[in-house]
Amino acid sequence: MPTSSDSGGRETPALAVQNLVAGYGDFAVVDGVSLEVPVGKVVAVAGPNGAGKSTLLKAMLGIARVMSGKVLLDGQDVTSAPLEKLARLGVGYVPQLDDVFDSLKVLENLEMGGYLCNRVERQRRIERVLQVFPQLQAKLHRYAETLSGGERKMTAIARVLMLDPKILVLDEPTASLTPELSRVVLEEQVRPLSAMGTSVLLVEQKAVAALAIADWAYLLVRGRVEVSAPAAEVLSDPNMREIFLGRAAAEVAARSVDAE
């Protein structure tokens, strides 16, 4: 279980934060969060709008200001390390907003993602991500500015896959995708990545879909971790589900799970 109490004999988590207090200026949005992403696991973070989920990710990535606490990458202290250093250490990040380069074509976005590898490898990876998102093939020479919301997200995820990251940090990767494509992205892209050893930290509004592929779930409310539990447990326990999803959403979720 990814809690600090019993981490003694286990392998070092790919990514961990300890008592992180972070925010903007002097204003702490994240208020003492501890969290772990074990190697090859998917960890989902849910929570209401404004809970501080994005801020938590930004603080881990050296974008938001860390006031206290630590960020550990493979056990190494990377608190407030510059983002490019983290990228070189194998962390891939898809921001919630500003997720693609508007002034560049889709293909150029992908090439930017392959900056750290050589030309041959970059070409190989482009072909690979185009197999993942075949509908991007036809848009390769479109400026990202002109893409639909869903195409943008696909481009953003494709771009981060170009990095071949060891650790993937995704801030609502399925926002503006259709429910079906969201499921495909999560189940057919994100999940298999973790099976291949990539560790994933996933912030997601579509909590059911996220929990379905996650190993562990955190609920963040007003900058604090309210619940930390195995994802399967959250999904199967009606009370937990209610807490995670809010009542109305929980009912919908119950129906969709029962229907399967």
Partner 1 sequence: MTGIEFYVVVLLVYLGTDLLAAWGLNLEYGISGVANLAYIVVIAAGAYTYAILSLGPDSGNGGFQLYVVGWQLPFAVAVIAAAAVGALVGVIIGVTGLKRIRQDYQGMVMLVISLMAVTVVGADTGFLNGQAGLSLIPNPFSSLSPAVGDWAYVAMVALACVIGFFVMRRFTGGPMGRALRAMRDDEHAVAAMGFSVIRLRLMSQAVGGAFGGVSGALLAAFIGGWSPGAWAYVETLALLTAIIVGGMGNDMGVSLGTFVIAVLLLQAVQFLPQISSHTGLTEALGWIILGVLTITFLWVRPQGIFKERRPFYRSPGETERSAPGDSATGRVAAPRA
Ligand X SMILES: Nc1ncnc2c1ncn2[C@@H]1O[C@H](COP(=O)(O)OP(=O)(O)OP(=O)(O)O)[C@@H](O)[C@H]1O
- Count, residues near partner 1 per rule CB under 8 A: 48
Sign of CA pseudo-dihedral 204, 208, 211, 212: negative
Site for Mg ion in 16-35 (CB under 5 A): none
| Alpha-carbon gap, residue 4 to 118, rounded angstroms | 39
Candidate ranges 71-79, 145-153, 223-231, 240-248; the one touching partner 1 (CB under 8 A): 145-153
Helix then strand then coil, % of the chain, to nearest 5: 45, 25, 30
Q: How far apart are alpha carbons 23 and 30 in whole angstroms?
A: 6
Q: How open is the CA angle 32-30-23, to the nearest 5 degrees?
A: 125
Q: Rule CB under 8 A: is residue 236 a binding residue for partner 1?
A: no
- Select the residue interacting with ligand X from 13, 46, 55, 111 (CB under 6 A): 55
Please give the span between the terminal C-alpha atoms of the chain, in angstroms, as a whole number. Answer: 28
Stretch that binds partner 1, among 38-46, 65-73, 90-98, 220-228 (CB under 8 A): 90-98
Q: Any contact of residue 181 with partner 1 (CB under 8 A)?
A: yes
CB 95 within 8 A of CB 171: yes
Q: Rule CB under 6 A: is residue 53 a binding residue for ligand X?
A: yes
Question: Least CB distance from residue 128 to Mg ion, whole Å?
Answer: 29
* Interactions with partner 1, residue window 41-70 (CB under 8 A): 61, 63
| Residue 104 contacts which entry, Mg ion, partner 1, ligand X, none (Cβ below 5-8 A, type-dependent) | partner 1
Binding region for ligand X (CB under 6 A): 24, 29, 47, 49-55, 96
